[in-house]
Amino acid sequence: MLIVMEKAEHVRRAGAHIYRGGAFKPRSSPYSFQGLGESGLKILAKVRAVTGMPIVTEVMDEDAFDLVEAYADIIQIGTRNMQNYSLLRRSGRSRKPILLKRGLAATVEEWLMAAEYILEKGNPQVILCERGVRTFVHHSRNTLDLSAVPVVHKESHLPIIIDPSHAAGRRDQVIPLSRAATAVGAHGLMVEVHHRPEEALSDGAQSLYPDQFAKLCRQANAIFSTVNPNVSL
């Protein structure tokens, strides 16, 4: 709890508006850390109560949806579930905003159609999240598709944010990719931060240190103001 609260205060002071934490963690290996479940949700609720930041967390399946919905301000549908149509339909019946991540090998059209499953059931509050697609490269975990941003602007009314942390998989690429995402017109960034990443139970290698995150916020705000001179932050 103490570590989470410390991180939350760091990112809030740096300029974060929303706090994301994984109470349920989809992992490639069944032996990897899978999250804290409801105990994790309670920690996130404490973060919201103390910092005032809304919280977003991932739901893994329909069985856990009611539980996650009771705690979260925004519900994330992860990459592996982008085409889990029963989960998308359940999200469409929720009154909470849904953060829909692009699938590992999904086209933009397939991604937008996944969003339609949510919209069609009556929930208009969908946020798209580009997080990289799987390619043959080895210099990053995935290839961040920044071209998806202007395509979504053209084809959809939905907001789109970028997750450079999961795209890169390594800390040194996160800030440059974040700057580029802001310049190309993304509505927001989802960035992982940890003040002791070597102790992180997952994704420590891609997590920014708090001072790096503060630097990124200053740079991203400057770029956003240049690209969108008529929009106040």
232 and 220 Cβ atoms separated by less than 8 Å: no
Ordered strands of the 188-189 beta sheet: 19-20, 55-59, 74-77, 98-101, 126-130, 160-162, 188-189
Predicted confidence (pLDDT) per residue in 1-46, tens digit: 667 888 899 899 999 999 999 888 777 778 777 777 889 999 999 9
Give the three-class secondary structure for 184.
Answer: helix
**What's the number of domains the chain is made of?**
1
Q: Per-residue pLDDT for 198 more than 80?
A: yes
Domain membership flag for residue 232: no
76-125 confidence digits (pLDDT tens): 999 999 999 999 999 999 999 999 999 999 999 999 999 999 999 999 99
In a domain, 233, yes or no: no
Provide the residue range defining the domain that includes 163.
2-226
Residue 80 lies in a domain: yes
Q: Is residue 99 domain-resident?
A: yes
Inter-residue contact 149 to 187 (CB < 8 Å): no
Report if residue 40 sits inside a domain.
yes
Q: Does the residue 157 lie in any domain?
A: yes
Percent of the chain scoring above 90 in pLDDT: 80
CATH number of domain containing 184? 3.20.20.70
Structural domain includes residue 231? no
Q: Which residue has the tokens 């395509």?
A: 151
